[in-house]
Amino acid sequence: MLTQEGFLFFMRYQKPPTSIEQQITIMRNRGLIIEDESYARQCLQFVGYFRLSGYALPFQLNYNNDGSHTFIRNTCFEDISDLYVFDRKLRLLVIDALERIEVAVRATISQVMSERVGVHWYLDCSTFSSNFDYFSFFDRLKKDIGHDHSKRAVRQVFIQHYFEKYTDPPLPPSWMIFEILSLGTLSKIFKNLLREHQKQITKEYELDGSIFSSWLHSLSYLRNLAAHHQRLWNRKYTIKPAVAKKFSDDLTSQDRFYAQAVLIQVLLKVILPDSGWSHSLCKLLNEHPTVDIEKMGFPVNWTAKDLWK
């Protein structure tokens, strides 16, 4: 710990564990109403006090100031659990959308580049910008697909089939490789492609290459958060998407969830216009009317905007 004088000293963490019963008592002493103790006990047992405490913060007085964690008058345990359930459903909705986007981006990049350069285009380092650490990327790629013979047991069936049947080129064609790559890796690949290739790939999405690159980076970050069960609803997103002029009115708060939702909606309207994702998002928000969507960056009357119609 750093003192005001600038000196460091160390403190040992000595807080003891608390039982479920003690946790219920602590919350009640702080003013939380717990009518269904059995339900509260189940949530604390299988979700955890610490995880739920993150959803309790909006219902507490001056939680950033005095550390008392006193609850706002008439706050119930169900208010906290409802917010937790909402955020869990939001993550599932986001993961569903990002799965569609990830598959689409894989297909687009692989198809366009295979037609322009050849089916093993990724083996040609001249396809990428000169400042790209191609050889580190290539080593990582080989590791991911199980190129080393000692890793053959973990190879995908189609990758194993290629190695059994072909010896040249040494790695499978683009469409096989891209079935294995993560959205984060796709983002890095696209970012480092030559500008002329980027333009062809983003033509279908009607976005500039630099904008598309930024959006892929942001969505990769969002996917990692959702996949690791992190809170989405009240987060300040540290990786913010670049603002496309066409959607500047919708991207005024780039560090909030609404901006992430805008990216998803824009891309899904190209990839799968009848996906119904916007309807599902609106339905989820209506099912949880106590959630403060302004804190998520949603503007007033957001559903009236053309993007969401």
Q: What is the pLDDT of residues 203-244, one digit of tens each?
A: 989 999 999 999 999 999 999 999 999 999 989 999 999 999
What are the beta bridge partners of residue 8? 2
Cβ of 228: how many Cβ atoms within 10 Å?
A: 8
Q: Does residue 60 lie within any of the structural domains?
A: yes
Q: Minimum mean pLDDT among 61-70, 225-234, 250-259: which range?
A: 61-70
How deeply is 167 buried, as exposed, middle or buried, from its count of CB atoms within 10 A (0-12, 13-18, 19+)?
Answer: exposed
Calpha distance 183→172 (Å, rounded): 19
Q: Are residues 140 and 246 in the same domain?
A: yes
Q: Are residues 60 and 120 in the same domain?
A: no
DSSP string, 15-71: PPP--HHHHHHHHHHTT-B-S-HHHHHHHHHHT-HHHHHHHHGGGBSSTTTT---PB
Q: Are residues 118 and 165 in the same domain?
A: yes
Phi and psi angles of residue 265, each rounded to the nearest 5 degrees, phi first? -65, -45
Q: Does residue 6 lie within any of the structural domains?
A: no
Q: Are residues 162 and 46 in the same domain?
A: no
- Which residues contact residue 279 at a Cβ distance below 8 angstroms, ignoring those fewer than 6 apart? none
Q: Does residue 82 lie within any of the structural domains?
A: no
Q: Does residue 97 lie within any of the structural domains?
A: yes
Calpha distance 103→133 (Å, rounded): 25
* The pLDDT of residue 5 is above 70: no
Interior/surface letters 8-46, b for 16+ CB within 10 angstroms, e for the rest: eeeeeeeeeeeeeeebbeebeeebbeeeeeeebeebbee
Q: Are residues 101 and 137 in the same domain?
A: yes
Q: Are residues 137 and 32 in the same domain?
A: no
Query: Letter for the amino acid at 189?
Result: I
Domain end, chosen from 52, 75, 98, is at 75
Q: Does residue 27 lie within any of the structural domains?
A: yes
The tally of domains found in the chain comes to: 2
Q: Are residues 205 and 244 in the same domain?
A: yes
Calpha distance 109→178 (Å, rounded): 9
Domain end, chosen from 11, 43, 75, is at 75
Q: Are residues 31 and 93 in the same domain?
A: no
Calpha distance 16→200 (Å, rounded): 59
* The pLDDT of residue 37 is above 90: yes
Stretch 59-86: mean pLDDT, rounded? 87
CB 265 within 8 A of CB 278: yes
Give pTM, 2 decimals. 0.90
The encoded tokens of residue 264 equal 């998803």
Domain end, chosen from 38, 55, 75, is at 75
Sign of the Cα pseudo-torsion (52, 56, 57, 63, in order): negative
Stretch 165-191: mean pLDDT, rounded? 91
Q: Cα 4–8–14 angle (5° rounding)?
A: 105
* The pLDDT of residue 1 is above 60: no
Phi and psi angles of residue 6, each rounded to the nearest 5 degrees, phi first? 95, 5
Q: Cα 66–70–73 angle (5° rounding)?
A: 135
Q: What is the pLDDT of residues 122-142, one digit of tens each?
A: 999 999 999 999 999 888 888
Q: Cα 237–243–204 angle (5° rounding)?
A: 110
pLDDT of residue 69: 85
Q: Are residues 57 and 105 in the same domain?
A: no
Q: Does residue 4 lie within any of the structural domains?
A: no
Q: Does residue 31 lie within any of the structural domains?
A: yes
Q: Are residues 220 and 256 in the same domain?
A: yes
Residue-averaged pLDDT of the chain: 91
Q: Are residues 265 and 138 in the same domain?
A: yes
Q: Are residues 231 and 152 in the same domain?
A: yes
pLDDT of residue 31: 95
DSSP string, 170-227: SS--HHHHTTT--HHHHHHHHHHB-HHHHHHHHTTTT--HHHHHHHHHHHHHHHHHHH
Residue 199's domain spans which residues? Answer: 87-308
Sign of the Cα pseudo-torsion (56, 59, 62, 66, in order): negative
Q: Does residue 144 lie within any of the structural domains?
A: yes
Stretch 144-158: mean pLDDT, rounded? 81
